[in-house]
Structure 1
Amino acid sequence: MEQLFPSLSILSLLLAFGIALVAGFVKGVVGFAQPLILISGLTLFLPPELALAGLIIPTLVTNAMQSLRHGPQAAWASVKAFRVFLICGGITLVIAAQMVRVVPEAVLLMAIGIPALAYAALQLGGLGFSLPRRSSKVEAAVGGIAGVLGGLSGVWGPPTVMYLTALGTPKADQLRVQGVIYGAGAVALFFAHLASGVLRADTIPFSILLILPAVLGMWAGGKVVDRIDQVIFKRATLVVLLLAGANLIRRAIF
């Protein structure tokens, strides 16, 4: 193991394995937050670029699993329904990924954390925000924002979750749609960071290593989500979003 990852200690690898397991479990329950947990946890003891590389391939694999949970036909229907979101997000993600080394980390973290925290806090406090119907313009804007954040940090969950929650999307549909959106973003992220140099010969093996714990965690989380109703699911989603946003703001400040 030390020969394969000469720059990482056994302790660092075990910690990374544990963080990936927890991230996969949370994703299995609420359908998102795996990249948030991975990037937040891994950057505590790893360089940001290696942490970003580490989350890319596990995210690709688990999102494919999530989007195909109800079969290819259901996944394709979600692709067609949210094609505006996917196209806009994909374009901005690829462009933003090329700027990953020049944007200050604190600015990026605050840009993700503040909206996520504010939205979740308002929803949990009873000041609900909802969209009566879908709008192509709103969807394009949210998709574009999600793509920028995803390209820079590997994290595009908060804008997507806020949008789907505001639409009142049913649990099963939301999980599948999130998987499709995040899966398409993960593919774009993979190729974008092959081009940016974040994914390369010395970082890809680390990312591959984290697939197994992420998948195991997601499997366990899936067993939990099947037992909870729509109200509990939405509340759990908002709590995770609140904590994720608060953690990102904390990292930006300190």
Structure 2
Amino acid sequence: MMEIFLGGLSPSVFAMAFGVTLMAGIVKGAIGFALPLIMIAVLPSFMPAQTALAALILPVVVANAHQSVRFGFHDAWVSAKAYWRIIALTLVGIAISAPFAVVLPQYIMFLLLGSAVMIFSVLQLTGWKPDIPEHRRNPIQYALGLIGGLYGGISGVWGPPVIVYLLATKTPKREMVCIMSVIFTVGGVMLLAMHLQTGLLNAQTLPLSLAMLVPSTLGLFLGYMVQDRLDAEKFRRYALIMLSISALNLLRRGFLG
């Protein structure tokens, strides 16, 4: 029975995936994001990139749905209405790019994943926040939503452009986490639907993604518990450094073919 949830992985590799997903859940609960970033940056180090993408889909949907509801349905709905442009174009982007996830060679997947994680980590570590004038915010929301969605369909990560935008517009932390949770939930549902069609989520990988709900949910609640007891900025910085190292490893594997 247990073999069903291994997704074709050996028990030792499954155990490593469990540990990585647990840590990703803790970071998600503590700072509000980075669950798919950590999973997609680390898991391909010891499993195929497509399997790693499949594994993170259900944890992303469930964790962000819970985080959205935690803020209350009213706040979630207000966020959805305020940022509908990003949400709509994210969905379009995911729908366009998701079919390519099952046909891209492994080395291209590694290069795409590594570059996305590295760019985001460096921007965050350097504190870069572009100045976005009020009159340009609507068209920029369309553009960032589409860019994030196009990347998200093949990598499972569409948050970096949104996070950079929210930081640039000086969005309050609580509102920012709520907005991100809504965008990630809706995008996750689209990603789930698309990869059920592409076959990336199948009889082998769907049980694996289901199994990863256990460590991701446990980690999420552990993250909630430590949220108010840790130096969030220092914790975020350590997480970004770890992501940068993982991204370098992905790039190395991509360049080596």
Please give the TM-score of this superposition, normalised by the length of structure 1.
Answer: 0.88
The alignment covers a number of residue pairs equal to 248
Matching residue of 2:109: 105
CA shift for structure 1 position 128: 4.6
Q: Matches of 1:241 and 1:130 in 2, distance apart?
A: 23
Q: Which residue of 2 aligns with 1:196?
A: 198
For residues 86 and 234 of structure 1, the distance between their equivalents in structure 2, rounded to whole angstroms, comes to 27
- What residue in structure 2 maps to residue 22 of structure 1? 23
Output the CA distance in 2 between the equivalents of 1:19 and 1:110. Answer: 17
Change (3 A) 1:160 1:6: closer
For 1:105 and 1:61, how far apart are their aligned partners in 2?
Answer: 25
Deviations 1:140-194 (A, max 9, x none): 1111111011101111222221111111111111111110010011001000101
Q: State the distance in 2 between where 1:131 and 1:122 align.
A: 18
Letter in 2 for 1:244: L
Aligned residue number for residue 3 of structure 1: 3
- Relative to 1, partners in 2 of residues 1:128 and 1:57: Cα closer, same or farther, differing over 3 Å? closer
Aligned counterpart, 2:247: 248
Correspondence list, 1:89-104, <5 A: 89-103=90-104, 104=108
Structure 2 portions without partners, runs of 5+: none
Aligned Cα RMSD in Å? 2.2
Distance 1:182-1:70 versus aligned 2 partners, 3 A rule: same
Cα distance, 1:18–1:120 mapped onto 2, change above 3 Å? same
Aligned to 2:156: 154
- Pair 130,69 (structure 1): closer, same or farther in 2 beyond 3 Å: farther
In structure 2, what is the equivalent of residue 172 of structure 1? 174
Counterparts in 2 of 1:148 and 1:241: CA distance versus 1, 3 Å = farther
2:102 match: secondary structure: coil
- SS in structure 1 at match of 2:60: helix
| CA-CA distance at 1:115 after TM superposition | 3.0
User: Quick check: 1:2–1:10 contact (8 Å CA) kept in 2?
Assistant: no
Instruction: Tell me how far 1:30 sits from its aligned partner.
Output: 1.6
Is the Cα–Cα contact under 8 Å of residues 129 and 167 in structure 2 kept in the other structure? no
Which secondary structure state, in structure 1, belongs to the residue aligned with residue 100 of structure 2?
coil
Instruction: Give aligned-pair identity as a percent.
Output: 35
Does residue 209 of the first structure (1) align with residue 211 of the second (2)? yes
Larger helix percent: 2
